Structure formats: structure tokens, C-alpha cells
């Protein structure tokens, strides 16, 4: 696989070159269509003056035929342009992610922001400048939800699950043609907000409508209608009687489908979505996979003697015919002659009886693959990152680890915790990098559990449930102060430990909403309780007295960040050092802000 930057760059150039040629072709087709109209009008006027009626009819028909042929090819070229425009957007967005310009993407996943979640808010998983904003290329509701579920990690993790995810991500990161086609073929689903797929899923779960199992009634009326038409043609029955026959047929159709007309309307609303879902499922089922997870997902599309591709194609064809017909002026005639609504609904009910219970599962599989492709983009676009080792031990070992979102600006550090050293206490002056480092470790752990590579030279971690307490805010509506919000947040960690969870905690300036004495005592009690429950983690603090715990708690280790000064300007190197911070910069920062200090 080529360098990702070169890959996207070459694709963009290729897309633009083809689009440029296509624009010129479209101008020609538009000119031809206009020319046909002008020629047709001119010839009709000339033939009219010549009183050549037959020539006028012939000229009109020939012009119409030529116009329709040109229009057909013109529309094909317009669809080709539409597809190329989507391709161009896909490749340009890929380049933006590589260049660190992804923060301009509009989709933030804000509906998934949950302040109560154990880590997603503090680690920027959703919202502005978030992991979701960075990696999301899903277009379907199912893919979007699947990706959000993965990022939230509201499920039990184990090494086998993570390894399967990692293998799937690695494979998809090399399947760029498949990833591109999946995006292009699903693009319209992101734009189409008018139809509600939930009503289709609800229909699929309903019991079969037994009233439509009487299949022979339509055939009786079709046969009767045929006989009456023959009688009318042979003058053995007045032709006007046919109007009565058609009226009776229409009433029979309405009678037998009176409680199911909403089904037809529902399919009309969801026609384009079902067609596209069918195409996406076929694309997945036709792809050859090697990793266990992807092969298992594909196998489920053909389980229980049901072939998803074949069955979805049947549904697609039924809906496509129905959608075209009801918009056709001749549909009423077809309906009264052949009672077509009854046959359509019968076929749909039979399809539902056979496949209804599988439909949602098929669409969830499609969403799972789409979510995995979103994750794989990050792996493809960052080949210098390394896949982590998921350890059976409760350890964190990171070599040259940096925060992925900072890209080239990130400063890397080495860090480790193990059975002997379970808690890292990090001190340092304001703006020195403490909070960023906590997020660096937490964010790379999230990437590890998602099966993604980490921004490090080497990363090894055990499996933990990550809990954070970093951005606690007051809540005026519920009369909750920031300090009490911290207490509630901390309770989540304590309760998780009591439940026997393997907790990894990230605590930033814990209990900052109270006095120094309470802060010191509260932090000490909390850390002791967490370690007693088996938890591991990092705590940043300005409380240097807390660092004295290293003397009595052998499982605690001190780290610090420092600043330095050049030309009376404060600077930071963001390098993690062993030991306790010896520097202070509050007064200097106040001076820089223009506050006079006597």
C-alpha cells in the first residue's frame, strides 16, 4: 500500500482530471439537447408551412426519440459526475485528516455526549475536536450508532475481543477500494432524512397478516375480468359493462388491502433507503475477508439457510417496481385489471415471514462493518503508529507516547505502571502539561481497546475500565457545586472498585473546589481506597504535600513537569521527569496577564 498522503493526493488529482473531462462532455450533451429542440421546432414550422402533416408527425417522433436517447446518456453522465464529486470529497477529507485539518468537519457526534459516562467527555471522544469528529466516515444510522457504541465501550472487554477488532482494523486499513466504495454507495443515506427506517423494522417484526393468505381470490377476479373483456370484444356483452367490472375489481382491491395500505406508503417512503441498504449488504457479502471477525460477520449474512444478498435483492425489486408503478398514470388500470396491490402485499408478507426477523440483524452487521471501516481509516492514515500489546497483566508501559490529536506538535514521553508502582502522582506548574499527559495515556488506552494503533513507539497495557474525573462542572439547575460534582464523580470510581471492576483512573486536580487541608486529606483517603480495591491510575495535583505519600506508600511514584524561562518569557518542554516539581509560575503568569504584584 502506498503512502497514505500520496494515495489521497493521487486520487484527488485523478478525480479532478476526470471531472474536468466530464464537465466538457456534459456541455456537449446539453448543447445537443438544445440543438434537437431548436431543430425540431424549425422542422415543424417548415413542414407546417408546407402543409405536410405526416412529415410533422414523423419529424416530431424522430426528434423525440433522439432527444430521449441523448437525455438518457446525459443523465448517466450526471450520475457519474455525482459519484465523482462524492469520491473527491472522500479523498479530500482523508487528506484533511492526515494534515490535521479534520477539526473543520461538521459532524461532531454531539448527540452522544454524556457527562455521566466514565471517560468519554474527559477524553474528548464526542463533540468538538473529538475522536468521533476525527474518524467518523459512517453514513448510515446503523454505522453511526455502531461507531458510537464502540467508542463508549459499554461492553465487557477481553483480550480475544480486542485482538479480533485489531485484526479486522488491520485488514480493512489495506482495503481502500472497499472502504471507498462503501462510503460512496452509502452517501445518499446520510443526506436522506425524510424516511424513517424504524417503521420498516417495526413492520418486519410484526406477525404476518393472515387475511392476505387467501391467494386465490385475485385469480378468480382476474379470470372473470378476462372473460368479460372477451365478451365485450366479441360484442356478446355491452362494453359499458366493463366499467362496472373494473369498479368491482377496484373495490375488491381496496377491501382486501384496506388495513395494509400504510405498508405500501411506508415502502414508498423508504424505497431509496432499502435499495441502498441492499447494495451495501451485497458489497459486504461479495468482499473476501481474512480476519476472523469480518468472516464471522459475513457468515451471519448467510446463516440459517437465508442468503441476505438474494433476499434483499427480492425486496429491492418488489419495492422498485411498486415505487415506479404508483407514480405511473397507468397504475390504476393495472390495478383494476390484475389486482396488483394484493399480489404486492402478499409477496411482501411472504418475504416478511421468511426474513423479517433477520432484517435488523443484517442492517446491524452492515453498521458494524461501516464502523470498523471508520476505525481503519485512522490506522491507514497513520502508518508510523504502532499496534499495542494487550497484556494479561495489570500494567501500562508506554515508550515515546504522545497525544494523537496533537499530531506533529506532540511531545512524547516514556511512562510505566505495574504491580509494584500502581499510582503515578504528577506535579507541575500551571500549563506545564499535566492534564494533557493524563489524556495522552487515557486516549491511547482507548485506541488500544478499539483495536487501533497508538501514537507511540511501543505501548503495552492490561485491560481496565477507564474512569476519569477531570472536567467536573457545577450545575445550577440541580444546585450542584463543582466540588460536589467531583464527589459524585469520585463515587463512580469507588463503586466500580467495590463491584470488582479493574479500574484505571485519571484524576486531574482532585478536590480543587475545597481548602488545602480538606483537599489533601480527601485525596489521600481516595487514593488509598482506590488502590485497596485494586485500581491503577494517575493523579495530577498542585498539592506538593501529597507527594510525601511516596515515602509511606511503596506503590506510589512521583513524576513532574517543569517550565523554564528565556528572555523573561515562560516556556515549557512538556517532558515528564521523575520526582516532585520544584518550580512555580503563578506569579509570572499573572504578570504576563498584566496584573501588578506588589
pLDDT, tens digit, 9 for 90 and up, residues 352-391: 988 988 999 999 999 999 999 999 999 999 999 999 999 9
Sequence-separated (6 or more) residues with CB below 8 Å from residue 355? 204, 306, 311, 315
Q: Which pLDDT belongs to residue 579?
A: 92
What pLDDT, on the 0 to 100 scale, is given for residue 590?
56
Pairwise CA distance, residues 12 & 64, whole Å? 39
More confident residue, 469 or 318: 469
Higher confidence at residue 538 or residue 267?
538
pTM assigned to the model = 0.87
pLDDT of residue 478: 44
Query: What pLDDT was estimated at residue 210?
Result: 57
In this predicted model, what pLDDT tens digit does every residue of 90-117 receive, in sequence order?
Answer: 999 999 999 999 999 999 999 999 988 9
For 44, the enclosing helix (H) or strand (E) is: helix 4-49
What does the alpha-carbon distance between residue 42 and residue 44 come to, in Å, rounded to a whole number? 5
- The strand pairing partners of 538, in sequence order, are 424, 506
The predicted structure's pLDDT at residue 382: 96
CATH of 389-592, one of 3.40.50.2030, 3.40.50.300, 3.10.20.90, 2.40.50.140: 3.40.50.300
CA nearest neighbour of 153 among 181, 193, 184, 114: 114
Q: What is the mean pLDDT of residues 256-283?
A: 84
Which is more confident, 347 or 321?
347
Identify the pLDDT of residue 594: 60
Indicate if the pLDDT at residue 479 is higher than 60.
Answer: no
Q: In the chain, helix, strand, coil percent, each to 5?
A: 60, 10, 30
What residue segments make up the domains of the chain, in order of their start? 1-99, 207-289+305-366, 389-592
Residue 559 has pLDDT above 60, yes or no: yes
Contact 525, 531 (CB under 8 A): no
Amino acid 473: pLDDT: 59
Judge whether residue 257 has pLDDT over 90: no
Supply the pLDDT for residue 477: 44
Amino acid at each position: 500500500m502506498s503512502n497514505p498522503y500520496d494515495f489521497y493526493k493521487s486520487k484527488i488529482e485523478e478525480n479532478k482530471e476526470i471531472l474536468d473531462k466530464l464537465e466538457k462532455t456534459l456541455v456537449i450533451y446539453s448543447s445537443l439537447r438544445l440543438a434537437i429542440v431548436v431543430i425540431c421546432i424549425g422542422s415543424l414550422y417548415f413542414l407546417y408551412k408546407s402543409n405536410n402533416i405526416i412529415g410533422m408527425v414523423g419529424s416530431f417522433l424522430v426528434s423525440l426519440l433522439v432527444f430521449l436517447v441523448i437525455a438518457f446518456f446525459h443523465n448517466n453522465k450526471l450520475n457519474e459526475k455525482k459519484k465523482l464529486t462524492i469520491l473527491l470529497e472522500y479523498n479530500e477529507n482523508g487528506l484533511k485528516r492526515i494534515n490535521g485539518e479534520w477539526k473543520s468537519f461538521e459532524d461532531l457526534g454531539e448527540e452522544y455526549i454524556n457527562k455521566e459516562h466514565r471517560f468519554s467527555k474527559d477524553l474528548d471522544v464526542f463533540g468538538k475536536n473529538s475522536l468521533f469528529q476525527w474518524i467518523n466516515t459512517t453514513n448510515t444510522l446503523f454505522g453511526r450508532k455502531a461507531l458510537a457504541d464502540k467508542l463508549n465501550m459499554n461492553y465487557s472487554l477481553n483480550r480475544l475481543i480486542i485482538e479480533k477488532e485489531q485484526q479486522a482494523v488491520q485488514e480493512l486499513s489495506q482495503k481502500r477500494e472497499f472502504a471507498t466504495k462503501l462510503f460512496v454507495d452509502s452517501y445518499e443515506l446520510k443526506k436522506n432524512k425524510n424516511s424513517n427506517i424504524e417503521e420498516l423494522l417495526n413492520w418486519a417484526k410484526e406477525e404476518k397478516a393472515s387475511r392476505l393468505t387467501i391467494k386465490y381470490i385475485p385469480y378468480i377476479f382476474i379470470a372473470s375480468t378476462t372473460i368479460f373483456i372477451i365478451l365485450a370484444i366479441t360484442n356478446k356483452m355491452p362494453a359499458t359493462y366493463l366499467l362496472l367490472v373494473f369498479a368491482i375489481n377496484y373495490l375488491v382491491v381496496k377491501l382486501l388491502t384496506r388495513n395494509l395500505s400504510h405498508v405500501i406508503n411506508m415502502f414508498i417512503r423508504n424505497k431509496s433507503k432499502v435499495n441502498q441498504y441492499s447494495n451495501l449488504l451485497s458489497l459486504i457479502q461479495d468482499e473476501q475477508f481474512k480476519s476472523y471477525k469480518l468472516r464471522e460477520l459475513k457468515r451471519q449474512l448467510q446463516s440459517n439457510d437465508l442468503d441476505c444478498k438474494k433476499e434483499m435483492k427480492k425486496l429491492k425489486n418488489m419495492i422498485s417496481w411498486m415505487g415506479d408503478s404508483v407514480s405511473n398514470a397507468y397504475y390504476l388500470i393495472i390495478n383494476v385489471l390484475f389486482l396488483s396491490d394484493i399480489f404486492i402485499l402478499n409477496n411482501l408478507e411472504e418475504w416478511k415471514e421468511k426474513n423479517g426477523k433477520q432484517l435488523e440483524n443484517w442492517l446491524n452487521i452492515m453498521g458494524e462493518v461501516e464502523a470498523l471501516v471508520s476505525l481503519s481509516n485512522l490506522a491507514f492514515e497513520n502508518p508510523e503508529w504502532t499496534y499495542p500489546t494487550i497484556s494479561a497483566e495489570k500494567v501500562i508501559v508506554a515508550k515515546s507516547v504522545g497525544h494523537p490529536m496533537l499530531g506533529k506538535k506532540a511531545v512524547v514521553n516514556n511512562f510505566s505502571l505495574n504491580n509494584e508502582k500502581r499510582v503515578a502522582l504528577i506535579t507541575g506548574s500551571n500549563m506545564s502539561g499535566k492534564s494533557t499527559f493524563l489524556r495522552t495515556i487515557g486516549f491511547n488506552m482507548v485506541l488500544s481497546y478499539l483495536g487501533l494503533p497508538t501514537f507511540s513507539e511501543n505501548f503495552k497495557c492490561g485491560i481496565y475500565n477507564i474512569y476519569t474525573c477531570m472536567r467536573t462542572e457545577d450545575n445550577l439547575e440541580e444546585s450542584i457545586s463543582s466540588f460536589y460534582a467531583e464527589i459524585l464523580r469520585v463515587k463512580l470510581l469507588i463503586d466500580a472498585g467495590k463491584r470488582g471492576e479493574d479500574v484505571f483512573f485519571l484524576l486531574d486536580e482532585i478536590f480543587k473546589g475545597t481548602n488545602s487541608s480538606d483537599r489533601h486529606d480527601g485525596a489521600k483517603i481516595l487514593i488509598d481506597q482506590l488502590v485497596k480495591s485494586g485500581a491503577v491510575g494517575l493523579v495530577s495535583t498542585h498539592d506538593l504535600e501529597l507527594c510525601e505519600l511516596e515515602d509511606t506508600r511503596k506503590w506510589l511514584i512521583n513524576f513532574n513537569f517543569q517550565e523554564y524561562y528565556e528572555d523573561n518569557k515562560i516556556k515549557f518542554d512538556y517532558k515528564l521527569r521523575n520526582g516532585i516539581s520544584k518550580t512555580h509560575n503563578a506569579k509570572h503568569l499573572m504578570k504576563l496577564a498584566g496584573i501588578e504584584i506588589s
